[in-house]
Amino acid sequence: MKRAWVVFVVVVVGHMMGVAEGLGVIWGNQAAQNLHPRNIVQMLKDNNITKVKLFDSDAWVVKHFGGTGIEVMLGIPNLHLASLADRYKHAPEWVKANLTRHLHEGGVDINRKRAIFESLQQVQLADNLSRALEHPKGDKRSWLGDKIKATIPQNADVYDSGSKGPSTGDFRPDIRATMKQIVQFLRDNNAPFVVNIYPFLSLSLNPDFPIEFAFFSGGAKPVQDGQITYDNMLDANLDTLVWSLRRANSGNVPIIVGEIGWPTDGDKYATVDLAKKFYDGFFTKISKSKGTPLYKDEIEYYLFGLTDENMKSIAPGDFERHWGVFRYDGQPKFPTGKGMAVGAKNVKYLEKKWCVYANNSEETSEQLSASMEYACTHGDCTALKYGGPCSKLDNSTKVSYAYNMLFQMMYQDVESCDFGGLAKIVTVNASVGNCLFPIALDTDWAWRPGQARPPLLCSPSSCRCSCCWTCDYKKDCVVIFK
């Protein structure tokens, strides 16, 4: 899900790892509507998932995990990260304001809690941050102490495997010095190295990638590295990291996979079938708790992600909005035999109303494509290409799909189903075959990031701008309480 060059910054709160404790999931909330946190809590419990990672520290969301026994990792918004790194005193201030405030009796479980500061930044920033987190006066131990651990998550492209496989692996030459400094900071503070590994991206970005190597069914030509045979990318990748850490004199640093998953739409390789194949193999692998050929401890994994996010940036690709093991409404996309099988229960939806292309006027094809472009820009059309079920619709049904997505993302606001008279609201299910025309979640259920309770609704007419969904709606739009 992340671009190749990004790094992340993480602060881990709570007792330290070493012993893995199973599977975590990432709940991102860049969707027009998100399930209520209490339903997420229930879903996690139903699936025996005890760890969740959130990308920001929205206090209202975090509060719902209090007393549930679920460990929470919290992210830091990007914009805060730079200032956190630039001056020494900012980091303690941020930690106090956003993190330690949750750590009280009856709050989010302090002993089992971890928090993540996370952001998309360059290596230099991570480097600055590791210095900001060190004690002044040259003490290498972080001022964060034992309760909060700092780590700086990386994408797997910060290391290369070299010519002979994992055993010749090392951090990339261009950033090696910085990476060395970062991992030694981790080592000195008993903090984990967090790495994001996406076999899907390796496959999707590299036409020569042997497809079966992305999965766990042993169908690919194995990589022979001395005595060790690698038949899947994940193990080979992790052992490359093990070697890279060893070469940085930090071989004991524990490893956590901070993100792993497979999207279901928006790319040639993003299909329900391949995602199911990936997850089936992955769940079988982790149920054996064996680590990798070189890393014998059980590894902790965070799945990306729990649900689809239809407002995520699609700069990396249309698949960005389809990483969920579950749909937008917490319903399973495919059966997973092990792990993550149980969907959200008692989900409430808005009325059974769809917005579709009316086909009753003399519109020109220019008007039609302009309306489609509007709907796709402000809504979500990422399911209309690349071979997924909605890509097979005929053109005019695609227009209906686009209209409906925007209509639902606008909480079925009637004014959002106008499109200059080209659209109409219907009560007959507009879904076609396996292409779901979704219904919005009930407003008592749904929320958007940063949104106060009760849910706010901002419609195009009240906004007088076409950017409710892309701009900061709190600033740019008039907000109506429903």
Binding part of the chain for ligand NAG, among 94-102, 212-220, 417-425, 464-472 by CB under 6 A, reads: 94-102
In the complex, least distance from residue 40 CB atom to ligand NAG, rounded to whole angstroms: 15
Whether 216 and 282 have beta carbons less than 8 Å apart is answered as yes
Q: For residue 429, state whether it binds ligand NAG (rule: CB under 6 A).
A: yes
Among 4, 19, 97, 205, binds ligand NAG (CB under 6 A): 97
Contact residue for ligand NAG among 57, 119, 310, 404 (CB under 6 A): 57
Is 373 one of the annotated active-site residues of the chain?
A: no
Site for ligand NAG (CB under 6 A): which residue of 39, 128, 130, 271?
Answer: 128
**Of 89, 87, 61, 86, which Cα lies nearest the Cα of 75?**
61
Choose, by CB under 6 A, the member of 13, 43, 54, 56 that binds ligand NAG.
56
Tell me how far, at minimum, the Cβ of 101 lies from ligand NAG, in Å. Answer: 9
Contact characters 193-222, ligand NAG, x per CB under 6 A: ------------------------------
What residues form DSSP beta bridges with 26? Answer: 53, 304
Q: Between residues 56 and 239, which has the closer beta carbon with respect to ligand NAG?
A: 56
Q: How far is the CB of 51 from ligand NAG (least distance, A)?
A: 15
Shortest distance in whole angstroms from residue 359 CB to ligand NAG = 4
Nearer to ligand NAG, 434 or 461 (CB): 434
For the beta sheet containing 300-304, the strands, ordered from the edge strand earlier in sequence to the opposite edge, are 71-73, 51-54, 23-27, 300-304, 255-260, 193-196, 154-155
Between 229 and 434, name the residue whose CB sits nearer to ligand NAG. Answer: 434
Tell me the closest approach of the beta carbon of residue 295 to ligand NAG, in angstroms: 25
Which residue lies nearer to ligand NAG by CB, 2 or 398? Answer: 398
Q: Which is nearer to ligand NAG, 88 or 209 (CB)?
A: 88
Report the residue number, 122 or 229, with the smaller CB distance to ligand NAG.
122
Least distance (Å) between residue 205 CB and ligand NAG: 26
Task: Return the residue of 396, 461, 466, 470 that touches ligand NAG, per CB under 6 A.
Answer: 396
At residue 436, the 3 state secondary structure works out as: coil
Q: How far is the C-alpha of 9 from the C-alpha of 116, rounded, in Å?
A: 7
Binding mask 288-327 for ligand NAG (x = CB under 6 A): ----------------------------------------
Contact between residue 27 and residue 323 where contact means Cβ atoms under 8 Å apart: no
**404 scored as a contact of ligand NAG (CB under 6 A):** no
Binding test (CB under 6 A) with ligand NAG, winner from 431, 443, 459, 462: 431
| Residue 61 phi, psi (nearest 5) | -70, -50
Binders in 71-90 for ligand NAG, by CB under 6 A: 77, 82, 85-86
Judged by CB under 6 A, which stretch of 122-130, 154-162, 183-191, 228-236 contacts ligand NAG? Answer: 122-130
Annotated active-site residue in 259, 300, 309, 320 = 259
**Which residue in the set 31, 436, 463, 477 belongs to the binding site for ligand NAG (CB under 6 A)?**
436
CA atoms within 13 A on the CB side of 294: 26
Binding-site member from 38, 172, 348, 352 for ligand NAG (CB under 6 A): 352
Within 132-161, the residues that bind ligand NAG by CB under 6 A are none
List the catalytic residue out of 118, 300, 309, 320: 118
Q: Is 376 in the site for ligand NAG (CB under 6 A)?
A: no
118 is catalytic: yes
Question: 3-class secondary structure for the chain?
Answer: CCCCCCECCEEEECCCCCCCCCEEEEECCCCCCECCHHHHHHHHHHCCCCEEEECCCCHHHHHCCCCCCCEEECCCCHHHHHHHHHCCCHHHHHHHHHCHHHCCCCCCCCCCCCCCCCCCECHHHHHHHHHHHECCCCCCCECCCCCEEEECCEEHHHEECCCCCHHHCEECHHHHHHHHHHHHHHHHCCCCEEEECCHHHHHHHCCCCCHHHHCCCCCCCCEEECCEEECCHHHHHHHHHHHHHHHCCCCCCCEEEEEECCCCCCECCECHHHHHHHHHHHHHHHHCCCCCCCCCCCCEEEEECCECCCCCCCCCCHHHHHCCCECCCCCECCCCCCCCCCCCCCCCECCCCEEEECCCCCCCHHHHHHHHHHHHHHCCCCCCCCCCHHHHCCHHHHHHHHHHHHHHHCCCCHHHCCHHHCEEEECCCCCECCECCCCCECCCCCECCCCCCCCEECCHHHHCCCCCCCCCHHHHCCCEEC
Q: How far is the CB of 25 from ligand NAG (least distance, A)?
A: 13
Q: Which of 111, 217, 224, 395 binds ligand NAG (CB under 6 A)?
A: 395
Binding residues for ligand NAG (CB under 6 A) = 47-48, 56-59, 77, 82, 85-86, 94, 97-98, 122, 124-125, 128, 341-342, 352, 359, 395-396, 429, 431, 436, 439
Active site residues: 118, 259
